[in-house]
Each structure stands twice: as C-alpha cells, then as structure tokens.
Copies of this chain bind each other. A is one copy, B any other.
Amino acid sequence: MTQVLIAGVFGKMGQQVAAMMTAAKDLTIVGGLAPEATAKRAFPVFTSLEEINVQADVWVDFTLPQAAATNAEYALTHGMNAVIGTSGLSEQTQARLGEVAKAAGARLLIVPNFAISAVLMMQFAAKAAKYFPDAEIVEAHHSDKLDAPSGTAKATAKVIAAARTEKPLAPHQDAPARGEWLDDVPVHALRLPGYVAQEEVLFGAAGESLTIKQVSFDRSSFMAGVALAVRQVHTLPVGLTVGLDALL
C-alpha cells in the first residue's frame, strides 16, 4: 500500500487524481494540501505545510511553480519521494531540487506529460528513426490553440533527430506547404474545431511505411501515468529524473 499526499487537491488535476487514488486498491491518500479547505474530503486537507501532521511515501504536486518548489523541498526533506506534475519550474529550480533530493536520499520525478501514449510514441519514434531516417510529424489540435507546432511535436522532432543514424533521402524544401523543419524533420500543425490533441509520426522507406499516432481527448488520459509514477518512483535512482519514460 502506497501512502500519498496530494498538493493542489482542489484543482482540476488534483480532484481527478484524488478520485483515481480513492478507487485504486493499492494507493491511500493520507492527506491533501490546498490554500483553503473549501470542501470536505475523506482525508484531512491541510492549508499550509506547517499544519501537516501525517507521513506519506509519495508527495504528488499539481500546484503552481513557486508553491511546487517549496512543497518539493518540504517533501524531500521529510522522508518522501516527490512526483511533480506542476509545469513551469525553471531548469535552475529543477537542478537545485535535484540536489536537495540527492542530499536527502530521496527521488524527485518531474513529469512534463503524463499521457503514457505520448511518452510511448516518442520512444517508438526514437527507435524507428534508427532505421528510417525519413520522418515527418503531423499534429492536430482544437482551433483555440494558438501556438504551433505543439511542445510534444517539437520534443518528438528532437528525439528523432538525435536517434537517426543516416541522413534522410528526401531533400530539404523551403516551400511553405512543406511545414516547419525542426532538425530536418518537417512538422505540420493542423488547427480545427472537432479535434482535441493528437500527433502522428510518419516514417517512410522504399516500399514501406510505419506510422505511430497518439490521440488525447480528455484529462482522464493522464491518470494512468500519475498512478504509474506514484507506484514506481521508489525504483528510480536517488536525485532528479525528468519524464515518465524512465519508468516505461
């Protein structure tokens, strides 16, 4: 039985994480943290670090960058491993917290993307790129997303470029329809109502093609990744780990 403390327990992610853990047989929520205890829960909800009077195995954090840094430091120095889903921590803060973890003999896992399908897609793309240097990425999101391409698409292009062992056959082309070239991987971004978030990596070689596609349409897609992180964080080396793929 893994005992968990959830920081940001009344936020959108925090509420869903709490529901998931309540349903899971091998996870117990021993407490929550929130600026205000706006609702009753089956576990104690603390409104400051000072109030906390329980012990957990894992601290799970879905708050804001500054709070998350303070929280992580507290958790790591109070005998807990920490899983941070809060986004926006600077690289310096991440490195500093890694040192705190190391000194405390604890694990700190910072996760930019909890969707297991997205993490697997990137792993598979890295492996395929070793044999198929020619690759393109097509991502599609709802029409309100204003940046393009998506962070996942950029990260995937980087991973493909790093894994290639040969140069692609298809020549570089500057035509606007050929998309944005990131590390010699053309990236295409679609923005359409009726789509939520998806990404497709297309590999081609003489006479064959291989495509890996990932679709997220709901925050529920992150729960399996959160559960995995909480269950397995203790298997990681002491100190900082970034990304769920260390566990996949």
Contact = CB atoms under 8 A, between A and B. Distances in A.
B186 A171 contact: no
Interface string A138-176: 101001001111000100000000000000011101011
B208 A214 contact: yes
A209 interface: yes
Contacts of A123: 127
A125 to B, nearest CB: 10
B191 A206 contact: no
A179 B123 CA distance: 27
Contact of A193 (B115, B116, B206): B206
A214 B221 contact: no
A77 B179 CA distance: 49
A188 B192 contact: no
A118 to B, nearest CB: 8
Q: Give 9 nearest A-B pairs by CB, closest first.
A: A207-B218, A194-B204, A192-B204, A207-B221, A208-B221, A143-B170, A207-B220, A176-B180, A177-B180
